[in-house]
């Protein structure tokens, strides 16, 4: 009887030590995030400097041109505009009047056609997607020059803006 009791006790311990397998269970988990609208805009040279106007430039009425690339991308279709930040150029102290912002012109076709930049104007557009879908937009600038303008430094700030469309 003692052997039978010990055998039963060991069997009971074995049952306790070996867990019984439950039926398989599953749990679903939902992962989520919210993608906000994202637009990227930059230029490859943010401080363009025109060469000093030559006699030929003054005779033609325009300075030599300068260019940079507008880099852009976004997760929405977008347009890129440019506008002067002020109505007039910053001019030398000795300047007798105002040099208007519309003395500045831009082109995105390497100078085949020129556009005045007196208000926000569309210089290009982009598609939803990465860099490959949105090649850089080349923008070329020129400034009207005249013999009546005094010597000194002139500058104007222009602002590029990317807007979803």
Residue showing tokens 């805009």: 41
Residues 57-86 have a mean pLDDT of: 95
Instruction: Say how far apart CA 91 and CA 97 lie, in whole Å.
Output: 9
Q: Percent of the chain beyond pLDDT 90?
A: 72
Question: Whole-angstrom Cα distance, residue 114 to residue 65?
Answer: 11
Query: What DSSP element (H or E) covers 78?
Result: strand 78-84
In this predicted structure, what is the pLDDT of residue 49? 95
**What pLDDT does residue 3 have?**
59
With a cut of 90, say whether residue 63 has pLDDT above it: yes
> pLDDT tens digits for 123-147?
999 999 988 889 999 999 999 999 9
Position 10 pLDDT exceeds 80: no
> Region 38-46: what's the mean pLDDT?
95
CATH class belonging to 41-164: mainly beta
Say what the pLDDT of residue 23 is: 87
Distance CA 108, CA 47 (A): 18
pTM over 0.85: no
Domain range annotation of the chain = 41-164
29: pLDDT strictly greater than 60: yes
Q: Cα–Cα distances in Å, from 144 out to 9, 46, 51, 53, 159?
A: 105, 20, 13, 10, 19
């Amino acid at each position: 009887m003692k052997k039978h009791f010990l055998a039963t006790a060991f069997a009971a311990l074995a049952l306790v030590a070996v867990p019984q397998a439950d039926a398989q269970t599953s749990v679903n988990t939902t992962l989520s995030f919210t993608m906000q609208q994202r637009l990227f805009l930059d230029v490859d040279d943010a401080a363009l400097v025109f060469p000093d106007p030559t006699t030929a430039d003054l005779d033609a009425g325009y300075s030599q041109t300068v260019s940079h690339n507008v880099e852009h991308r976004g997760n929405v279709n977008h347009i890129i505009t440019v506008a002067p930040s002020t109505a007039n150029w910053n001019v030398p102290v000795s300047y007798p009047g105002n040099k208007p912002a519309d003395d500045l012109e831009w082109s995105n076709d390497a100078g085949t056609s020129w556009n005045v930049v007196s208000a926000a104007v569309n210089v290009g557009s982009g598609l939803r997607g990465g860099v490959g879908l949105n090649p850089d937009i080349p923008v070329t600038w020129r400034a009207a020059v005249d013999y009546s303008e005094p010597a000194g430094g002139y500058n104007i700030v222009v602002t590029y803006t990317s807007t979803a469309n």
